[in-house]
Amino acid sequence: MRKINTRNFVRATRGTAREINRRIILNLVREHQPISRADLARRMRIGRGMVTSLVAELLDDGSIYEGSTAEAPRGRKPMMLFVRTHDRLAIAVDVRFSRTYLMLSDFSGKPIALEEFETIPDPAALVAGLARRIQKLLKGRDAKLKVNGIGLVVPGMVDATSGRILNAPQLGWRDVDVRDALEKATGLSVHVENAPIACALAQMWLGDGDTETPRDFVYLTVGDGVGTGIVVNGEVVRGHDNTAGEFGHVPLNPRGPECLCGARGCLEAYASNLATLSRYLGHEFSPTETRRLLQESGLTILDVIARAHAGEQRALDAIDETATRLGEGLAIVINTLNPSRIYVGGEITELWDRVEPVMRHKIRERALTAKAAETPLVPEPASSYPRLRGATAIVAAPVYAAPQVA
């Protein structure tokens, strides 16, 4: 029961029904490939003639392709259909505090080329550098491989419709427009997105290969900060001013450590990588001291994880406390949004066998129903580059998304 937006609706025209059914077929092929025309007709309860005609259009515009025929117990062998992902490309950019990652990948998220370089703090200079690298990246490529656009992910608040970066504290950017500049420099369409939302979009549109992604879930990212991407009813939640999902600043303890946001005892001040590292070094997190402390020690979160793996008690204690706090935060996520699943991304997933039971224990303590207490937690290893996959997803999604109607 969605309400129609009478300020900004899309009315149906002669071609709308066809467009809707074509998009449904494209998605059925995507999720059930290989699949035959006759199978599509059965699933959609539609005549095979209609399928032939719609499939012809999808073949024409290159969205799908015909593979070989498949075995059948009797009758004519069906001609199998597949979505064309290997020659539709996206350029994914992940801008982070110290380094920027640049990936060329196909529409399935499979990497073709990957490079990284030091982040240039000035937006204009970064755009110029990016444009140069992108041009070089595409130079030697086969012209047949169509690049559909650029997806750019930043740690911070983004207005996805205007493409403006509203506030990215880690980069020191405020109200910066990189989209238009990068579009002008490369001639490609550019989509900008906030990192946790991008990770959620990667899960939604590219999946993780094995299990089917639900239509309502939360993606928790644990990095220098703690953030979430929220998906409800098959759609991302951005919020009225693009600041939804800041579960990192849920207060856990009014007398807890000071947080970058100015408050005390935020989840992030307990569970971000900086906070974990700081705790390992014997200090509470502090927005003014911690960075200096870490630079002095030269340690990174991966060192703490390695030592925990090796069995060092101090490292294990630091990690356990982080997991406990994450569990408290996730209990709030579960009680307020009741997602069917929670994905967890970040270096901390390397210790999943240790971390998950601790989080689960807290969640069981706090969840309001027995079902909710067992909300599946799914780790996503950092090795799968979730942010870059998310950048790819924002380029690919418009091709597969439901057409806007009504």
Which spans of this chain sit near DNA (rule: CB under 7 A)? 12-15, 17-18, 21, 36-39, 46-53, 55-56, 69, 72-79
Task: Check binding of 237 to a second copy (CB under 8 A).
Answer: yes
* CA–CA gap between residue 158 and residue 238 (Å, rounded): 9
Sheet holding 79-83, edge to edge: 35-36, 79-83, 64-69
| Binder among 165, 182, 190, 252 for a second copy (CB under 8 A) | 252
- Check: CB of residue 39 under 8 Å from CB of residue 72: no
Q: How far is the CB of 79 from DNA (least distance, A)?
A: 3
Closer by beta carbon to DNA, 15 or else 140:
15
Nearer to DNA, 25 or 147 (CB): 25
* 8-state DSSP, 293: H
| Residue found by looking up tokens 């098959």 in the block | 234
Buried b (16+ CB within 10 A) or exposed e, 77-96: ebebbebbbeebbbbbbbbb
Q: 245 and 237 in contact (C-beta within 8 Å)? A: yes
* Ranges within 96-155 binding a second copy (CB under 8 A): none
Binding flag, residue 11, a second copy (CB under 8 A)? yes
CA distance 109 to 103: 10
Q: How far is CA 309 from each of CA 151, 186, 205, 276, 349, rounded to the nearest angstrom?
A: 35, 45, 33, 15, 12
Binding-residue total with a second copy (CB under 8 A): 81
Report 69-98 residues binding a second copy (CB under 8 A).
none
Q: Which residues of 226-260 are buried (b: 16+ CB within 10 A; e: fewer)?
A: bbbbbbeeeebbbeeebebbbbbbbebeeebbbbb
Tell which one of 56, 114, 232, 302 touches a second copy (CB under 8 A).
232
Region near a second copy per CB under 8 A, out of 62-70, 182-190, 318-326, 360-368: 360-368
DSSP H or E stretch at residue 229: strand 226-232
382 binds, among a second copy, DNA, none (CB under 5 to 8 A by kind): none
Nearer to DNA, 66 or 289 (CB): 66
Give min distance, CB of 62 to DNA, in A.
17
Least Cβ distance, residue 321 to a second copy (angstroms)? 14
Q: Report the 10 Å Cβ neighbour count for 282.
A: 9
Scanning 69-77, 233-241, 285-293, 380-388 for contacts with a second copy by CB under 8 A, the matching segment is: 233-241
The DSSP call for residue 208 is -
Look up residue 312 and give its two tokens.
């060092």
Q: Which does 51 bind (CB under 5 to 8 A by kind): DNA, a second copy, none?
A: DNA
Q: Does 211 bind a second copy (CB under 8 A)?
A: no
List binders of a second copy among 31-60 (CB under 8 A). Answer: 31-32, 44-46
Specify the stretch interacting with a second copy by CB under 8 A; choose among 102-110, 111-119, 142-150, 331-339: 331-339
